[in-house]
């Protein structure tokens, strides 16, 4: 799942080398934290959060296939 989020973010970002995804497990849930360059934050979040929500939907689908629960935080 980490690889999925990282791939999507790198394709969207103008500075793909600054994309960082960290993964933590907390209370049986996987939490992915996505860090991007300040100039790319708007691109990753999108208008009214549409791009971020789409990434979260794809992440949830991948998590369900693996029998897990996952959330995405953009920092």
**How far is residue 45's CA from residue 61's CA, in Å, rounded to a whole number?**
19
pLDDT at 53: 97
Strand intervals (E) in the chain: 20-26, 29-35, 70-74
- Judge contact between 15 and 9, C-beta under 8 A: no
- What's this model's pTM, rounded to 2 decimal places? 0.90
CATH of the domain at 63: 3.30.300.20
**How far is residue 59's CA from residue 4's CA, in Å, rounded to a whole number?**
8
Give the chain's domain count.
Answer: 1
What residue numbers bound the domain in which 37 lies? 2-74
In residues, how long is the chain? 75
What confidence tens digit (pLDDT) does each residue in 12-31 have? 999 999 999 999 999 889 99
- Judge contact between 15 and 37, C-beta under 8 A: yes
């Amino acid at each position: 799942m980490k690889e999925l989020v990282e791939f999507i973010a790198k394709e969207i970002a103008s500075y793909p080398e600054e994309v960082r995804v960290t993964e933590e497990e907390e209370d049986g849930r996987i939490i992915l934290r996505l860090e991007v360059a300040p100039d790319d934050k708007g691109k990753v979040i999108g208008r009214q959060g549409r791009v971020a929500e789409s990434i979260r939907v794809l992440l949830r689908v991948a998590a369900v296939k693996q029998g897990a629960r996952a959330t995405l935080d953009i920092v």
